[in-house]
């Protein structure tokens, strides 16, 4: 079952996010297992919304890329909310 994730990185900047994405070396595409990804800068920092094919796919990518690279660029640990996806329309 697909899972949606909302990650909030308080105080994070667009520059930090761009550095993280560049370091992930995804060639401008969502990683394998991701359905879609978007991000925004808010008054509080960085907001990331992802939908993944499964929780296992997200956890694998989180451990391999998200945690080490966001830590490297000083984004800290995000607040994460997750939900079962009822439907995805494209």
Domains and CATH numbers, the chain: 3-84 (3.30.70.100)
For position 59, what pLDDT does the model report? Answer: 96
CA distances, 17 to each of 53, 69, 85 (Å) = 23, 10, 25
Q: Which H/E stretch holds residue 46?
A: strand 45-52
pTM of the model: 0.91
What parts of the chain have a pLDDT lower than 50?
A: none
């Amino acid at each position: 079952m697909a899972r949606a994730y909302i990650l909030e990185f308080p105080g994070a900047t667009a520059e930090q996010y761009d550095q993280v994405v560049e370091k992930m070396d995804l060639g401008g595409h969502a990683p394998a297992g991701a359905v879609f990804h978007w991000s925004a800068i808010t008054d509080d920092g960085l907001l990331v919304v992802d939908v993944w094919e499964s929780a296992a796919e997200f956890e694998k990518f989180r451990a391999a890329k998200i945690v080490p690279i966001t830590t490297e660029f000083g984004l800290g640990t995000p607040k994460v909310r997750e939900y079962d996806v009822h439907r995805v329309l494209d």
